[in-house]
Amino acid sequence: MNLIVDAGNTRVKLAVFEKDTLVEVIFIDENELLSEIKKILKKYKITAGILSNVGFIAEYKMQKLQNLVNLLVLSSFTNVPFNNLYETVETLGVDRIALVAAAVKKYAKRNILIIDAGTCITFDFVNDQSEYLGGAISPGIEMRYKALHDFTSKLPLLEKKIAQNFIGMNTNESINSGVVNGVINELEGVISQYKNKYSDLTVVLTGGDTNFLAKQLKSSIFANPNFLLEGLNEILIFNKNK
């Protein structure tokens, strides 16, 4: 069985796969990482693991993790099942690498746009030749709310809420409309740009805000909040078979 450790910007996901099948997902805080992995190792017969770390797990904790289980640490130098044509490969986030791996596995020989709606909103495109071309990075929903509060003197910090009307009748409604409708229109606009060039485009929406956004989008998409985990598992399998 495979252990997947996805250390994102705001939380850690632990997942267990039996080959291609997702068995369990656990959401934890970073300070629970070692204790939760010990529990998983007692519960399952883990034979391999992979770590995606966007940067906040300390080096000493990384060493303790490796002492518990041999983890493949994903980087820009890791073997992947696609041709990476990004001009600055060394700066490409490991989360984006994993998403592309999931795409070429699940939607082989298609033009695919992956939208990851989390702390940031990332757009990643891989063509029907399994060539990763790049994409875009934009502020996520929570980041936009925080920016309005932090960079002004009077605007309140709100939690995300579906905008009932695009015309805000008070300050809170105006903020919700600006943030949420702004994101929805941004996503629809980007999808439209890609479809103008790739008419047979497949669109995948993933990330922490998947469920919140999916029901508001008019474009045809595949919503999969576990897409990153599936990509990490695919990279692990790919490297085990090398």
Enzyme catalytic residues: 95
Query: Residues 13, 18, 20, 22: what is their CA dihedral angle, to the nearest 10 degrees?
Result: -40
Query: Are 236 and 79 within 8 A, CB to CB?
Result: no
Query: Which token pair is 150?
Result: 């932090």
Distances in Å between the Cα of 67 and the Cα atoms of 34, 61, 184 are 10, 10, 44
Query: Are 92 and 86 within 8 A, CB to CB?
Result: yes
Buried b (16+ CB within 10 A) or exposed e, 61-96: beeebeebbebbbbeeebebbbeeebeeeeebbbbb
Query: Are 109 and 121 within 8 A, CB to CB?
Result: no
Helix-helix angle 182-197:141-150, to 10 degrees: 130
Beta bridge partners of 124: 114, 135
Query: Are 172 and 158 within 8 A, CB to CB?
Result: yes
Q: By three-state DSSP, how is residue 177 classified?
A: helix
